Chain A
Amino acid sequence: MNNTVFGLTMLVVGMGGTLVTLFIITLVINALSLFFPVRPDEEEKK
């Protein structure tokens, strides 16, 4: 594999992979908020 093809592959798949993975983590964080809502006693402390 020549350097340009390698670089472009890393750019597209690497950047795309990072974006998609972080988007998945965003969804997971939203799910965590649904599964683990703030309890009333935590709310009072805040």
Chain B
Amino acid sequence: MSEAILSALGALFEGVRFLFAHGGPNVIMISVACVMFWLAIAKGVEPLLLLPIAFGCLLVNLPLSEVMHADGVLKTLYDFGIGNELFPLLIFVGIGSMTDFTPLLANPRLLLFGAAGQVGIFVTLLLALWLGFSKEEAVSVAAIGACDGPTVIYVSNMFAGMDRIPTAMVGALAVAAYSYMALVPVIQPPIMRLLTTKKERAVKMPSPKGKVSKAALIAFPIVVTVITGIVAPKGLPLMGMIMLGNFIKVSGVAPRLASAAENEIANVSTLFLGLAIGGTMLGTQFLTRETLMVFGLGLVAIMIDTVGGILLGKIWYLLSGGKVNPLVGAAGISAYPMAARLVQSEGQRWNKHNYLLMHAMAANTGGQIGSVMAAAIMLSLLKGLGII
């Protein structure tokens, strides 16, 4: 009897024994989860994503946790919506529904900032290859330059599903992507000030005069979907879902669907995606030199995106005889609407009568399209090169 009681008590302390014997990486990852909780709650850093990711990270790193074992709750969520890339795509439906392309349609030339803002993706790809990452790993790391969490998860998970990159890397990439998206207000202003003169930053841009009809707003998502399908079919699910969400909204005839896309679908997918991604952050697999390099390269990618946008802005400033404020180029990334608001506040800092918001919103929605298009083209190129 006493032996049975001792054995039963021993079983209760199995976790503590494990923690002292092999629990170093787990303790570090539980600390990482706590830092993410703090960032999300105290600092407001991407709480919608960081809270579930951090909780998933906590769950998987508790000693003897079975949440990521076969039939474990997080493994089931992972297989249900990450392994087949469903959750990122559902989030895209919500993002599409939340995005207003009117400023872009009123000022379409600003879409080119959305292309310049993707240069970080391709330069980082090259850097990652030189640092020794495999082709698939380098593409996944470079996708952080899209400044777009679902795109990063979609691309990296495709390779994880083919066993070309470690599953734990998907978690590192997702956390890096969402962290840097939240840190855009810290990353971009010093680069803006470094690359532009006071005179350039103070340039006042007149309000866009172009008007947009409802028919054009409805036709836009269809046309972009068709173009993407023709140019980069491998990325069609990404662009198709973002445009579907927008199409439902601008059609104006299905407000319940638009509301569901913006709220229920986006919220539930975000919660499940976050938890499942957190579940990939098992200490023994996550704490590697590659993870640190992923974070470093992700930062470089977003900095180069900003440089690319501002340099195009400077060229435009020269060609237009000083009528385009180069700061608008910094909004050509996918962090919407944060990057646009940042350009507005930075512009007003140097000229109180400057209202760059509508221009920046156009560039910012251009950045959303640009990031998805760049990922779509990248995937199609990989298929063309026989890599996927």
Contact = CB atoms under 8 A, between A and B. Distances in A.
A14 B377 CA distance: 6
Given A3-B135, A7-B125, A23-B112, A38 B227 contact: no
A6 B122 CA distance: 11
Interface residues of B, number: 45
Contacts of B114: 22
A41 to B, nearest CB: 10
B268 interface: no
A26 B129 contact: no
B129 A15 contact: no
Contacts of B139: 10
Interface stretch (B69-77, B218-226, B249-257, B313-321): B218-226
Interface stretch (B40-48, B152-160, B366-374): B366-374
Given A15-B122, A18-B115, A1 B385 contact: yes
A11 B379 CA distance: 13
Contact of A38 (B130, B213, B369): B213
Interface string A2-39: 01101111110111011101111110111011011111
B111 A26 contact: yes
B381 A18 contact: no
B108 A10 contact: no
B381 to A, nearest CB: 6
Interface string B210-237: 1111111001100110011001100000
Nearest to A15: B122
B370 A26 contact: no
Contacts of A28: 223, 227
A13 B232 CA distance: 12
B125 A18 contact: no
B377 A17 contact: yes
B227 A24 contact: yes
A22 B370 CA distance: 7
A33 B108 CA distance: 10
B378 A25 contact: no
A14 B109 contact: no
A25 to B, nearest CB: 6
B381 A33 contact: no
B333 to A, nearest CB: 13
Nearest to B142: A10
A33 B378 CA distance: 30
A8 to B, nearest CB: 7
Given A18-B118, A22-B366, A32-B216, 12 more contacts: A3-B135, A3-B138, A4-B130, A6-B129, A9-B381, A11-B122, A14-B374, A17-B381, A18-B377, A22-B111, A29-B220, A42-B213
11 contacts: A3-B138, A6-B129, A9-B381, A9-B385, A11-B123, A14-B377, A32-B216, A32-B220, A33-B212, A35-B216, A39-B213
Interface of A: 1, 3-4, 6-11, 13-15, 17-19, 21-26, 28-30, 32-33, 35-39, 42-43, 46
Q: Which 4 interchain pairs have the tightest Cβ spacing? A: A36-B215, A29-B108, A7-B126, A3-B129
